[in-house]
Chain A
Amino acid sequence: MDIHSLTLNQAREKLEQGEISSLELTEAVLTRIDAVEERVRAYLHLDRQGALERADETDRLRKEGRAGELLGIPLSVKDVLCTATMPTTCGSRMLENFVPPYDATVIERLQNAGAVILGKVAMDEFAMGSTSENCAFGTPVNPWKDGYVAGGSSGGSAAAVAAEEGFASLGSDTGGSIRQPASLCGIVGMKPTYGRVSRYGLVAFASSLDQVGPLTRDVRDCALMMNVIAGYDHRDSTSINRKVPDYTAALIDGLQGIRVGVPVEYFGDGLDPDVEKAVRGGIDMLREAGAEIVEVSLPHTDYCVAVYYLIAPAEASSNLARYDGVRYGFRDRDAQSLIDMYRSTRSMGFGDEVKRRILIGTYALSAGYYDAYYKKASRVRTLIQKDFTTVFADCDLVASPVCPTPAWKIGEKSDDPLELYLSDILTISANLAGIPAISVPCGFSGDGLPIGLQMQAALFNEEILLRAAHNLEQRAGVAGRRPKLP
């Protein structure tokens, strides 16, 4: 097996046994990136020199007896996370040359754990999108099929991990942006409970929904990454001060005594037959592992997209007001007055989808429409949350598809915003309810595209998700299957 193909935990073991150095490991991954990046296009910024120096440093630290969960492990991070030594563009012209004055808390946590950060990976502009086609600097391509989307908005993270261009990645998930690309690229992706992982230094999209999480090649790697990034941070006022368990201890074989709900609403019209077959097969595997499967109902599922596409743009329109050309980012230098400078800076700096969402959000919050749109959506959000509370009184988790279809062709759905919004229908309720959710590979479509199974659990129940995902992974037997790349 090639070095770059190892899982994070396998690479970690080889480092600990002294079979390999971090420098060798990092060089192997950089060579892999050179070989496949022209096809995959996951990276926006590759810090080759910084990575090699850091790898060398971690090798020295290891010799001095230092340990760390990720000591010497090369990985990537989504370009929405602030890095003090690398640009942070959010996939936007607005932040093309922006180098943040500080590191995000999760970046500090990666560094303290000994990680080697290779670079920043592509995403939809300000994380708004489901295909990464809204990235101002190029669209990542699905490693499984040329010309197909890697998903979004954390498309670069998913593509990089699936194409073995790093052992893991961090993404962000506001309405499915970790889980959907993970599903389309055949890897594991977790959105933790809102407040479990610090948002400090995560460039804000919709603050009541955003959460940072890992994308990895298997469930054990996901658990290890969670151990590193989860925890209270006083710099994020929405961070929850609650003990962090050892997530790797949750990977118990067998699901005896676990009740899995299958929401009828998640298997409705528009679900691709291959996806339904793979996901039903995955649910059977959960049963074989000992779980009890019961049908459940989440009656407000059909309203999730409508609620989300009012609340997320409303929060975004407020959050993105900061891009005014004054303190950082792009400025139209030709503008004569301050107001003209604001307007032309924003009009030139933002892409289409960002402008569209700012307009929807501004409209939904504007005088005369606030009650009808924003307030109404916030109330239905309460009902969506209650649906889950009811189901989790009786079930440990719910299982469903992640995305109604496997990956599609680049350009195929970019003309109709609503059609693309509707593809988020199965993932956005977890963000609206604040609950944790995971996407884990369960099969393939007829033409060889990966399909993920989603599981959602009650607040702070990441461990049951990891346990169930681990059991599914053992049975599905697809974790070792990798895309064929040059």
Chain B
Amino acid sequence: MDDCGQDTWPCNCRETMKIRREEVEHVARLARLDLAPDEIERMTGQLDTILNYVAKLDEIDTTGVTETTHTQRVCNAFREDEVRPSLPRDRALANAPQDNGEAFVVPKIIR
């Protein structure tokens, strides 16, 4: 077992940890981030502190409360379905790390 750094034994960190190292590794994979071992370590500690803090929301009873995703009473924003000029290809490609004049070029996907 890793040394968690606590002076007391047995330590109680397994019970109080909101997030474990393996979960941070999993989330990093989902988010397409590569984290070095020391980065994983540091992020796990910081995320744990933050998740412990946000757990205070459990104090509030939200039964029957609707969720807010938009602060105003707006519904769908429709527009006429008409043809309008769009971004010219050369300008769309202007910032591409790699392109062939017609499309974005990426490393080979199918081998």
Chain A contact residues, CB within 8 Å of chain B: 97-99, 101-102, 194-195, 208, 234, 237-238, 240, 300, 302-303, 305-307, 309-310, 317, 321, 324-331, 333, 335-344, 346-347, 350, 355-356, 358-360, 362-363, 366, 373, 375-383, 385, 417-418, 421, 432-435, 459
Contacts and interface: CB of A to CB of B under 8 A. Distances in A.
15 contacts: A99-B94, A238-B77, A305-B53, A327-B92, A327-B96, A329-B97, A330-B97, A337-B108, A340-B107, A344-B34, A363-B47, A375-B67, A379-B62, A381-B68, A417-B46
Given A99-B94, A347-B34, A378-B67, 5 more contacts: A300-B60, A362-B31, A417-B49, A418-B53, A435-B71
Contact of B27 (A102, A336, A363, A380): A363
Contact of A327 (B28, B46, B58, B95): B95
Given A343-B34, A363-B19, A208 B70 contact: yes
A24 to B, nearest CB: 36
Contacts of A376: 57-58, 62
| Pairs of residues from A and B, 10 with the lowest C-beta to C-beta distance, nearest first | A434-B71, A328-B95, A331-B97, A378-B67, A237-B77, A379-B62, A306-B54, A347-B34, A101-B91, A379-B65
A382 B87 contact: no
B97 to A, nearest CB: 4
A358 B34 CA distance: 12
Classify the secondary structure of B's interface with A: loop
Contacts of A380: 57, 60, 62, 65
Contacts of A303: 56-57, 60
Nearest to B87: A101
A331 B57 CA distance: 39
B30 interface: yes
Contacts of B34: 343-344, 346-347
Contacts of A102: 87
Interface in B39-64: 43, 46-47, 49-51, 53-54, 56-58, 60, 62
A383 B60 contact: yes
Contacts of B97: 325-326, 328-331, 333
B72 interface: yes
Contacts of A375: 67
A382 B65 contact: yes
Given A373-B54, A380-B62, A324 B104 contact: no
Interface residues of B, number: 48
B8 interface: no
Nearest to B29: A343
B47 A366 contact: no
Contact of B66 (A306, A317, A382): A382
Contacts of B33: 343, 346-347, 350, 355, 358-359
Contacts of A195: 72, 74
B11 interface: no
B32 interface: yes
B16 to A, nearest CB: 15
B106 interface: yes
B50 A309 contact: yes
B4 interface: no
A343 B28 CA distance: 9
A434 B72 contact: yes
Nearest to A97: B95
B33 to A, nearest CB: 5
Contacts of A434: 71-72
Given A306-B56, A347-B35, A355-B35, A366 B106 contact: no
B79 A377 contact: no
B24 interface: yes
Contacts of A377: 54, 57
Nearest to A386: B65
B94 to A, nearest CB: 6
